[in-house]
Amino acid sequence: MPDESDRPAEVDQFLEVDLADLADALYHALSFDQQGKPRAWQQRIDALTTAEWQARHLLTSQFVVLRRARGVRLMGGPSAPAKAPRGS
């Protein structure tokens, strides 16, 4: 069993998500299409059912879902797209 002192400091910046927060985040993600437009109301009802099922399934399957603690910012952010080398 790993010792608490072996844990990286970055891990302390994250908290375990509860079921309601996870279902809410999944519902939000499923409620919009690729362009960010809201889906039709019929699809949003399906999204609600799917999000609740997925959240319960992830937690009962012993997945650990983490979120950043309030006020913690990620270092670096998204990576910049690679540029083609000059002269090619």
In tens, the pLDDT along 58-69 reads 888 988 887 777
Strand, helix or coil for residue 68: strand
Q: Which residues contact 13 (CB under 8 A, 6 or more apart)?
A: 68, 69, 72
CB 56 within 8 A of CB 20: no
Residue 57 has pLDDT above 90, yes or no: yes
Confidence of residue 86 (pLDDT cuts 50, 70, 90): low
pLDDT above 80 (res 42)? yes
Domain boundaries, the chain: 17-68
Q: Please name every residue paired with 86 in a beta bridge, in sequence order, or none if there are none.
A: none
Kind of pairing between the strands at 14-16 and 66-68: antiparallel
